Chains A and B, each alone.
Chain A
């Protein structure tokens, strides 16, 4: 049973437009959430995170929104650039689980020029 789900396996967006990636979770103990980006033949790299005490965190073109009541988070990329084409993973952790991260299945983003 996947505790973190990314229901869209792929997303295609025009350069300059907004990319919205969604992630749902079931474990109410999760209190810290992260997004990672992965290019082919490379390891994932950290992108942005959010604590459950916040509902929004912004870093340049990347904004993560957290809706605790809906157990839902989203990543907005504005404006999208061709270099953003990658697989994006959301991940969650719970204080009771220490440093363990639970990952979603990933969303492949293609930004078209």
Chain B
């Protein structure tokens, strides 16, 4: 079974803090993704990566950066957290190729005060 794990289930941070969200997958997947989920808006893609040290902007990259130093690990960084970044953050991975299923982690609910 594919397992995607996220470092925290719940996180509370203050405005201006630097926040790291970590994601690890154990299936040697090429592709990794970071989404945020907000009510009524579904899942919106923040960043994704097709390979180590490679990253591409998704639909809402502003205020975020990512790092992929190892194939199994994909980190999302909020350089200076703001209240409008309060959300559910979901990491996903897929094997490769267009029609491969994306497997999701359990999510991190982030509250920025």
Q: Which residues in A have some Cβ–Cβ distance to B below 8 Å?
A: 2, 4, 6, 9, 32, 34, 36, 41-46, 49, 51, 89, 91, 93, 95, 98-106
Contacts and interface: CB of A to CB of B under 8 A. Distances in A.
B4 A95 contact: no
B58 interface: yes
A2 to B, nearest CB: 8
Contacts of A93: 98-99
Contacts of B100: 99
Contacts of B43: 44, 89, 91, 101, 103
Contacts of B44: 103
B98 A105 contact: no
Nearest to B4: A43
Contact of A103 (B9, B42, B105, B106): B42
Interface in B83-113: 90, 92, 94, 96-107
10 contacts: A34-B101, A42-B106, A43-B106, A46-B101, A46-B103, A89-B42, A99-B50, A99-B98, A101-B43, A103-B43
Contact of A101 (B9, B40, B45): B45
A49 B92 CA distance: 17
A46 B9 CA distance: 21
Nearest to A98: B98
Interface string B51-71: 000000011000000000000
